[in-house]
């Protein structure tokens, strides 16, 4: 199981976006006259795109207001996306270590592609990203493996040579669907047990541990 490249999820894996998402979501709910949620509740709302987040945040009896809520959520998040968001501790050091080893770095996110590109340019301008892919008409949301497969084809690296680091069941399922090795980030938005249930088999508690996994698999390939 060699590891020659890495795909990262974005929210909950590279970036702690929870508070900004919660602020945008709660501002949306309050503006429409609905109850707001504790910030921690948004851990269960995120991961499947903004539309699903809005559906989960709305009360059961308010789904008729979905279109209005989605439009307002997009307006709110356009203002809040970089207020409290920051890379998780250890992420920059991990990226430096991988880049120093010549490991291609890629991102596959369920954020809309244009916003995914903007986010990466703002928070991670200093690294040589081989591919950054968000949701679009061409690449649907994870767990659909189309985006992961497209990255594999672009880099000319076989899917089996990728590690896919993410914090949600969608990441684990996407990796498996693409023929990649899923690695669960336990510092993110979901519990380890949830990732295990989705097929995750390798888990790390700190970003720097990914370097050890890369070294292990690279060494294993040469044996």
Does one domain contain both 140 and 152? yes
Residues 43 and 109 in one domain: no
pLDDT of the residue at 222: 45
Residues 23-67 pLDDT 10s = 999 999 999 999 999 999 999 999 788 899 999 999 999 999 999
Within 10 angstroms of residue 58's Cβ, the number of other Cβ atoms is 21
Find the mean pLDDT for residues 59-77.
96
Q: Are 54 and 66 in contact (CB under 8 A)?
A: yes
- pLDDT confidence of residue 159: 97
Q: 40 and 129, same structural domain? A: no
Q: Which of 80, 111, 132 finishes a domain?
A: 80
12: left (phi over 0), alpha (psi -120 to 50) or beta: left
- Residue 216 is predicted with a pLDDT of 60
Q: Which phi and psi angles does 58 have, rounded to 5°? A: -70, 145
Q: What is the pLDDT of residues 164-194, one digit of tens each?
A: 999 999 999 999 999 999 999 999 999 999 9
9 as an active site residue: the answer is yes
* Mean residue pLDDT across the chain: 94
Distance CA 12, CA 91 (A): 12
Please tell me whether residues 211 and 123 are part of one structural domain.
yes
**Confidence bin at 209 (pLDDT 50/70/90):** very high
137, 58: one domain: no
> For position 192, which CATH number holds?
3.40.50.1000
Residue 110, domain extent:
5-16+86-222
Tally of domains in the chain: 2
Statement to judge: residues 94 and 168 lie in one domain: yes
Residue 217: pLDDT above 70?
Answer: no
Statement to judge: residues 45 and 92 lie in one domain? no
Domain-terminating residue out of 53, 80, 107: 80
Mind listing the pLDDT tens digit for each residue in 95-140? 999 999 999 999 999 999 999 999 999 999 999 999 999 999 999 9
Residues 151 and 121 in one domain: yes
Could you tell me if 61 and 117 lie in one domain? no
The pLDDT of residue 106 is: 98
Nearest in space to 110 (alpha carbons), one of 146, 161, 162, 79: 146
């Amino acid at each position: 199981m060699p590891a020659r490249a890495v795909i990262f999820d974005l929210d909950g894996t590279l970036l702690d976006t929870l508070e900004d998402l919660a602020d945008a979501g709660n501002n949306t709910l309050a503006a429409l006259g609905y109850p707001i949620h504790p910030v921690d509740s948004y851990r269960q709302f995120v991961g499947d795109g903004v539309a699903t987040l809005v559906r989960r945040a709305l009360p059961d009896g308010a789904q008729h207001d979905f279109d209005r809520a989605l439009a307002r959520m997009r307006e709110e998040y356009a203002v809040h996306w970089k207020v409290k968001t920051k890379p998780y501790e250890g992420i920059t050091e991990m990226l430096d270590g991988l880049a120093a080893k010549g490991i291609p770095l890629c991102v596959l996110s369920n954020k809309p592609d244009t916003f995914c590109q903007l986010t990466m340019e703002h928070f991670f301008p200093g690294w040589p990203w081989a591919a950054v892919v968000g949701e679009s008409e061409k690449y649907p949301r994870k767990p659909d493996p189309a985006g992961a497969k497209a990255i594999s084809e672009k880099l000319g690296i076989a899917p089996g040579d990728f590690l896919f680091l993410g914090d949600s069941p969608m990441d684990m399922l996407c990796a498996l669907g693409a023929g990649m090795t899923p690695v669960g980030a336990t510092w993110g938005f979901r519990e380890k047990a949830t990732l295990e249930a989705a097929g995750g088999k390798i888990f790390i508690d700190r970003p720097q541990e990914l370097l050890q996994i890369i070294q292990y698999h690279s060494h294993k390939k040469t044996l």
